[in-house]
Amino acid sequence: MKYVNLHTHTSRNLSNTIEIVNQYPHDFQEGFSTYSIGIHPWYLEESRLEEDLKIIKSKLSTNECIALGECGLDKRIEKIYSSQIAVFEAQLDLNKSFSKPVILHCVASFDEVISSKKNSGLTCPFIIHGFSKNEQVAKQLLKQDFYLSFGKYLLRNPDLREVFAQIPNEKIFLETDTIAESLEEVYTFAAQCKNISVEEMQAIVWENYVRVFS
Protein backbone atom coordinates (compact mmCIF):
# COMPACT_ATOMS: atom_id res chain seq x y z
CA MET A 1 0.00 0.00 0.00
CA LYS A 2 1.38 3.38 -1.06
CA TYR A 3 0.54 7.03 -0.69
CA VAL A 4 -1.32 8.39 -3.71
CA ASN A 5 -0.94 11.99 -4.92
CA LEU A 6 -3.91 12.54 -7.22
CA HIS A 7 -2.55 15.76 -8.74
CA THR A 8 0.90 17.31 -8.66
CA HIS A 9 3.05 19.41 -10.97
CA THR A 10 6.34 18.06 -9.64
CA SER A 11 7.64 14.60 -8.78
CA ARG A 12 9.48 13.64 -5.62
CA ASN A 13 10.14 10.18 -7.11
CA LEU A 14 9.56 8.34 -3.83
CA SER A 15 9.22 4.56 -3.75
CA ASN A 16 6.30 4.72 -1.31
CA THR A 17 4.22 7.16 -3.39
CA ILE A 18 2.27 7.06 -6.63
CA GLU A 19 2.22 10.52 -8.16
CA ILE A 20 -0.10 11.49 -10.98
CA VAL A 21 1.99 14.23 -12.53
CA ASN A 22 0.04 16.83 -14.48
CA GLN A 23 1.23 17.22 -18.07
CA TYR A 24 0.34 19.68 -20.82
CA PRO A 25 0.53 18.57 -24.47
CA HIS A 26 2.46 21.69 -25.52
CA ASP A 27 5.05 21.20 -22.76
CA PHE A 28 5.23 17.42 -22.42
CA GLN A 29 8.08 15.91 -20.38
CA GLU A 30 9.23 12.31 -20.68
CA GLY A 31 10.22 10.13 -17.75
CA PHE A 32 7.21 10.03 -15.43
CA SER A 33 5.90 6.56 -14.58
CA THR A 34 2.34 7.84 -14.01
CA TYR A 35 0.86 11.05 -15.38
CA SER A 36 -2.26 12.74 -16.68
CA ILE A 37 -2.47 14.93 -19.76
CA GLY A 38 -4.97 17.53 -20.87
CA ILE A 39 -5.62 21.07 -22.04
CA HIS A 40 -6.12 23.28 -19.00
CA PRO A 41 -8.59 26.09 -19.78
CA TRP A 42 -5.99 28.65 -18.75
CA TYR A 43 -3.67 27.46 -21.53
CA LEU A 44 -6.20 27.00 -24.31
CA GLU A 45 -4.69 28.28 -27.55
CA GLU A 46 -6.70 27.94 -30.75
CA SER A 47 -3.53 28.16 -32.88
CA ARG A 48 -2.20 24.85 -31.53
CA LEU A 49 -5.47 23.15 -30.60
CA GLU A 50 -5.36 20.51 -33.35
CA GLU A 51 -1.79 19.55 -32.47
CA ASP A 52 -2.54 19.50 -28.73
CA LEU A 53 -5.46 17.13 -29.28
CA LYS A 54 -3.29 14.84 -31.41
CA ILE A 55 -0.70 14.67 -28.65
CA ILE A 56 -3.34 13.93 -26.02
CA LYS A 57 -4.77 11.11 -28.11
CA SER A 58 -1.31 9.64 -28.61
CA LYS A 59 -0.42 9.78 -24.90
CA LEU A 60 -3.77 8.39 -23.73
CA SER A 61 -2.91 5.20 -25.60
CA THR A 62 0.14 4.60 -23.35
CA ASN A 63 0.22 2.76 -20.03
CA GLU A 64 2.03 5.60 -18.25
CA CYS A 65 -0.81 8.01 -18.98
CA ILE A 66 -3.47 6.94 -16.49
CA ALA A 67 -5.88 9.89 -16.72
CA LEU A 68 -7.16 12.69 -18.94
CA GLY A 69 -6.62 16.11 -17.40
CA GLU A 70 -6.44 18.35 -15.88
CA CYS A 71 -9.06 19.76 -18.15
CA GLY A 72 -12.32 21.56 -17.52
CA LEU A 73 -13.98 24.96 -17.30
CA ASP A 74 -13.26 28.27 -15.57
CA LYS A 75 -15.61 31.27 -15.62
CA ARG A 76 -13.11 33.54 -13.91
CA ILE A 77 -10.59 33.79 -16.74
CA GLU A 78 -10.65 35.75 -19.98
CA LYS A 79 -10.70 32.75 -22.29
CA ILE A 80 -13.96 32.63 -24.27
CA TYR A 81 -16.27 30.33 -22.32
CA SER A 82 -17.92 28.75 -25.35
CA SER A 83 -14.44 27.83 -26.61
CA GLN A 84 -13.58 26.33 -23.24
CA ILE A 85 -16.66 24.11 -23.43
CA ALA A 86 -15.88 23.05 -26.99
CA VAL A 87 -12.29 22.12 -26.12
CA PHE A 88 -13.30 20.34 -22.91
CA GLU A 89 -15.89 18.28 -24.76
CA ALA A 90 -13.43 17.54 -27.58
CA GLN A 91 -11.09 16.02 -24.98
CA LEU A 92 -13.91 13.96 -23.49
CA ASP A 93 -14.71 12.75 -27.00
CA LEU A 94 -11.09 11.62 -27.44
CA ASN A 95 -11.35 9.67 -24.21
CA LYS A 96 -14.21 7.53 -25.52
CA SER A 97 -11.61 5.22 -27.05
CA PHE A 98 -9.73 4.86 -23.75
CA SER A 99 -12.24 5.52 -20.94
CA LYS A 100 -9.51 6.69 -18.57
CA PRO A 101 -10.42 8.67 -15.42
CA VAL A 102 -10.84 12.42 -15.93
CA ILE A 103 -9.14 14.92 -13.58
CA LEU A 104 -11.04 18.19 -13.60
CA HIS A 105 -10.33 21.86 -13.12
CA CYS A 106 -13.67 23.48 -12.31
CA VAL A 107 -14.22 27.10 -11.29
CA ALA A 108 -17.79 28.43 -11.04
CA SER A 109 -18.79 25.82 -13.63
CA PHE A 110 -20.15 22.82 -11.79
CA ASP A 111 -23.49 22.73 -13.61
CA GLU A 112 -21.70 22.92 -16.96
CA VAL A 113 -19.19 20.21 -16.06
CA ILE A 114 -22.02 17.94 -14.94
CA SER A 115 -23.83 18.63 -18.22
CA SER A 116 -20.71 17.89 -20.28
CA LYS A 117 -20.18 14.64 -18.37
CA LYS A 118 -23.74 13.55 -19.11
CA ASN A 119 -23.51 14.59 -22.78
CA SER A 120 -20.25 12.69 -23.25
CA GLY A 121 -21.83 9.36 -22.38
CA LEU A 122 -18.60 8.41 -20.61
CA THR A 123 -18.91 6.06 -17.65
CA CYS A 124 -15.30 6.45 -16.47
CA PRO A 125 -14.63 8.17 -13.13
CA PHE A 126 -14.61 11.99 -13.04
CA ILE A 127 -12.57 13.63 -10.26
CA ILE A 128 -12.77 17.29 -9.21
CA HIS A 129 -9.25 18.23 -8.15
CA GLY A 130 -8.61 20.88 -5.49
CA PHE A 131 -12.18 20.86 -4.21
CA SER A 132 -12.91 23.97 -2.15
CA LYS A 133 -16.69 24.44 -2.06
CA ASN A 134 -19.48 23.95 0.46
CA GLU A 135 -21.47 20.88 1.45
CA GLN A 136 -24.29 21.70 -0.99
CA VAL A 137 -21.94 21.67 -3.99
CA ALA A 138 -20.26 18.52 -2.70
CA LYS A 139 -23.61 16.75 -2.45
CA GLN A 140 -24.55 17.91 -5.96
CA LEU A 141 -21.35 16.38 -7.35
CA LEU A 142 -21.55 13.20 -5.31
CA LYS A 143 -25.10 12.66 -6.54
CA GLN A 144 -23.67 12.68 -10.08
CA ASP A 145 -20.99 10.15 -9.06
CA PHE A 146 -18.00 12.51 -9.04
CA TYR A 147 -14.97 11.93 -6.85
CA LEU A 148 -13.49 14.85 -4.88
CA SER A 149 -9.78 15.47 -4.34
CA PHE A 150 -8.60 17.69 -1.49
CA GLY A 151 -5.31 19.44 -0.82
CA LYS A 152 -4.46 23.14 -0.59
CA TYR A 153 -7.90 24.41 0.39
CA LEU A 154 -8.38 21.73 3.01
CA LEU A 155 -5.23 22.99 4.73
CA ARG A 156 -6.09 26.68 4.29
CA ASN A 157 -9.87 26.91 4.77
CA PRO A 158 -11.27 25.94 8.20
CA ASP A 159 -14.83 25.77 6.79
CA LEU A 160 -13.80 23.02 4.37
CA ARG A 161 -12.72 20.67 7.14
CA GLU A 162 -16.30 19.84 8.15
CA VAL A 163 -17.25 19.38 4.49
CA PHE A 164 -14.37 16.93 4.07
CA ALA A 165 -15.36 15.05 7.22
CA GLN A 166 -18.80 14.39 5.70
CA ILE A 167 -17.58 13.13 2.30
CA PRO A 168 -18.00 9.34 1.96
CA ASN A 169 -14.61 7.66 2.24
CA GLU A 170 -15.06 5.87 -1.08
CA LYS A 171 -15.18 9.24 -2.91
CA ILE A 172 -12.00 10.83 -1.51
CA PHE A 173 -8.60 11.57 -3.03
CA LEU A 174 -5.75 13.72 -1.71
CA GLU A 175 -3.21 15.86 -3.56
CA THR A 176 -0.49 18.47 -3.24
CA ASP A 177 -0.95 20.34 -6.54
CA THR A 178 1.57 23.22 -6.14
CA ILE A 179 1.65 23.70 -2.35
CA ALA A 180 4.85 23.70 -0.32
CA GLU A 181 3.50 21.19 2.21
CA SER A 182 4.37 17.54 1.70
CA LEU A 183 1.86 14.85 0.77
CA GLU A 184 2.41 13.30 4.19
CA GLU A 185 1.31 16.57 5.81
CA VAL A 186 -1.86 16.57 3.69
CA TYR A 187 -2.63 12.98 4.74
CA THR A 188 -1.98 13.78 8.41
CA PHE A 189 -4.30 16.77 8.35
CA ALA A 190 -6.99 14.86 6.41
CA ALA A 191 -6.83 12.03 8.94
CA GLN A 192 -7.34 14.50 11.78
CA CYS A 193 -10.43 15.90 10.02
CA LYS A 194 -11.87 12.39 9.78
CA ASN A 195 -10.74 11.51 13.31
CA ILE A 196 -8.86 8.45 12.04
CA SER A 197 -5.22 7.41 11.87
CA VAL A 198 -2.91 8.32 9.00
CA GLU A 199 -2.69 4.62 8.18
CA GLU A 200 -6.47 4.42 7.87
CA MET A 201 -6.48 7.51 5.65
CA GLN A 202 -3.78 5.96 3.51
CA ALA A 203 -5.81 2.75 3.16
CA ILE A 204 -8.93 4.68 2.12
CA VAL A 205 -7.19 6.58 -0.67
CA TRP A 206 -5.25 3.51 -1.78
CA GLU A 207 -8.44 1.48 -2.14
CA ASN A 208 -10.02 4.33 -4.14
CA TYR A 209 -6.96 4.51 -6.39
CA VAL A 210 -7.02 0.78 -7.09
CA ARG A 211 -10.73 0.87 -7.87
CA VAL A 212 -10.63 4.00 -10.07
CA PHE A 213 -7.34 3.49 -11.90
CA SER A 214 -7.27 -0.29 -12.24
Q: Is the pTM of this model over 0.95?
A: yes
- Binding residues are 70, 105, 129, 177
- Binding residues for a divalent metal cation are 70, 105, 129, 177
Rounded to 5°, the CA angle 121-125-126 comes to 85
Give the torsion through C-alpha atoms of 192, 194, 196, 199, to 10 deg. -80
Domain boundaries, the chain: 3-213
According to the model, what pLDDT value does residue 16 have? Answer: 96
CB 103, CB 38: distance < 8 Å: yes
- Tens of pLDDT, residue by residue over 93-150, are 999 999 999 999 999 999 999 999 999 999 999 999 999 999 999 999 999 999 999 9
Matching CATH number, 3-213, of 3.20.20.105, 3.90.1170.40, 3.30.465.10, 3.20.20.140: 3.20.20.140
Q: Average model confidence (pLDDT) for the chain?
A: 97
